[in-house]
Structure 1
Amino acid sequence: MKITCIGVGNMGGAVARRLATSTEFTVTVYDPSTEAMARCEAAGAIPSANMHAATEGADVVLTSLPTTRLVLETIRQLLPVLAEGTVIVDISTIDPQTAATALQLSQDAGRIFIACPLGKTPGHAENGEIPLFIGGDQDTVARLDPMLERMGEKTYNFGTVEAATAFKLVSNFIGMSNVAILAEGLAIALKAGISPEMFTEALADTGAKSFQSEVRLPWMLEQDWTPRFGVNLAAKDVRLAVESALNWQIPVPVGAAALSQLMAVSARGFGNEDVVAVMKLTGPADQGKNP
């Protein structure tokens, strides 16, 4: 199977490298960042000088892009040059309305669009340890099984592109809100004189334990701002979820508060740091750092 990956940043790059290390696939990559492509080339992918050339002969085009606008712009550019039978699989985090638009554009051009947003972190994706949330034409989804099995450890088939993308938004909406409250809880614990070690151990034995406390709490304590998932991207995803909720007349005051926290962190100039930088709102930057 020939796969083209458009957008090989943190998550897209991890997926491209995961696929490129399998002998089942020939992987071509394109990204404006030559450094991002070089990292994929080191794993066995073929870099391309431009997006259109990258898609020549592709069975599947995977798009992993940071904004809904860029997703639709890229699909509009790709559709006129894609060969008949080429499937577009978008692994970006987009809202249901954008997914529906991408699907309609693809159908109008006689092409197939599949939404397949991903869970967890780039580190998990590098090892194929992510969940995949897929929706779209079911016969096509079945044909993609070999690629999906290599990409992740479990695929959840939501049926439609709207449902798949909505679930991903809900997942990030809950997860990023959890990061915000985790940062506040950590600040309270440290102020009370609880050691980082005791906080981490005891929290894991309570109902407050979560994926975020397991994965991101150590980064908080080490003041590690390396952008595995940046503040601006987190704010974008939570904003899309809040907007979708408002369109459906569903009140989401807690999630809206988390969005305000993320936007406040971004406004202070930390938008490109990992989402754990939300703890910078709770006190001195070095308050929880281990010696």
Structure 2
Amino acid sequence: MKIGYIGLGLMGGPLARNLIRAGQNVLVYDLNNDAIARTLAAGTTGSAAAKAEDMADCDVIFTSLPLPVHIKEVMMSEHGLLTKMKQGSIYIDVSTIDPTTAEEIENFAKARGVGFVGCPLGKGPAQAEKAEEPIFAGGDKATFEKVLPILNRVGAPVHYLGGVKQAYAFKVISNMIGMTNLAVLAEGLHLGNQAGIDAKQFLELLAETGANSFQLQVRGPWIVNNDFANRFGVSLALKDVRLGCEMADSWGYDARFTKQAKKFYEQAEQKGLGREDCNAVYKVL
């Protein structure tokens, strides 16, 4: 089986490397040559494509790209890969996009005899590198079952949610909750500082209360240690909460808490913090 992988950034790179480590025949492509080199260093079964179109004969193609517009350009444009892929091949996307775009991609692929499975991811680059990235899959069940052995090589656990709408909606909602929680945590840390509570003790004690959370456990210590290195950047966080607010609006629901959090991430980006980790929202609260 020949696998193509487009997009070797913080998330895509580790997943592609997991495939190479597993001995899969993987053809990779990215605009960044350093990202290609890091990925190919994972083993001997990977090779680089000169351009994305060179992957047209692959049996399975992955994409891990920043925005819906990038996916549409690479896969659905006049010369996009979905117009060139062979009948019966399968396209897997692990990006974070909105459910409406996902359904549009699925219909576009189906009309050309290509299967589509949406597989947004649950955690960060560290988990992805160890093949411990939760995967939330959606799409035709038979197509999903065909690629399940491949998905099990790139991450775990793999959850099947039904359609692509459910898979991508879950990921967007998860990020809405996580990023809003992070903003509240940042606010709480400022208040704890105002109260004169030792920051490290503050985190330890919060973990024993109803305020405990993934963001507290992971990003709380980073904030206290002034560690804002980019694991999941402000700009990506803003993109995801924006997608969530737009998704909610399209369903007639006013996501008020997320909209408030979005304002803080917008301020952080406006202050030039877009390439710092999303915990940099602490700096604008």
> Structure 1: which amino acid aligns with 2:137?
I
Match of 1:286 in 2: none
**Letter in structure 1 aligned against 2:72:** L
Corresponding residue SS for 2:31: coil
**What residue in structure 2 maps to residue 285 of structure 1?**
none
Q: Distance in 1 between matches of 2:130 and 2:8?
A: 16
Match of 1:289 in 2: none
Give the CA deviation at 1:137: 1.2
Structure 2: distance between partners of 1:4 and 1:228: 25
- Which residue of structure 1 lines up, in the alignment, with residue 99 of structure 2? 96
Gap regions ≥5 residues in structure 1: 283-291
Kindly report which structure 2 residues correspond to 1:54-133, keeping only aligned pairs within 5 A, or say none.
55-76=55-76, 77-133=80-136
Deviations 1:210-236 (A, max 9, x none): 111111112112222221111111111
Q: Could you say which residue in structure 1 is the equivalent of 2:40?
A: 41
Q: Distance in 2 between matches of 1:47 and 1:226?
A: 29
Letter of the 1:7 counterpart: G
**Aligned-residue offset at 1:84:** 2.0
Identity of aligned residues (%): 43
Q: What is the distance in 2 between the residues matched to 1:46 and 1:193? A: 55
1:52 equivalent in structure 2? 53
Give unpaired runs (5+ residues) of structure 2: none
- Show structure 1 runs of 4+ deviating over 4 A: none
Deviations 1:58-89 (A, max 9, x none): 22100000001111111111012212222110
Summarize deviations over 1:100-122 as a string: whole Å, max 9, x none: 11011111212111111000101
- Residue identity in the other structure for 2:11: M
Q: CA RMSD in A?
A: 1.1
Give the aligned residue type for 1:131. P
Distance 2:189 2:18 in 1: 35
- Whole-Å Cα distance in 2 between the matches of residues 79 and 56 of structure 1? 8
Which segment drifts farther, 117-126 or 149-158? 149-158
Counterpart secondary structure, 1:270: coil
Give the match for residue 15 of structure 2.
Answer: 15
Instruction: Give the letter for the 1:52 counterpart.
Output: E
Q: Which residue of 1 aligns with 2:150?
A: 147
1:56 CA drift (Å): 4.6
For residues 223 and 25 of structure 2, the distance between their equivalents in structure 1, rounded to whole angstroms, comes to 38
Query: Any idea what SS the aligned residue of 1:216 has?
Result: helix
Q: Which amino acid aligns with 2:33?
A: T
Once the 2 structures are TM-superposed, how far is the Cα of residue 252 of structure 1 from its aligned partner? 1.3
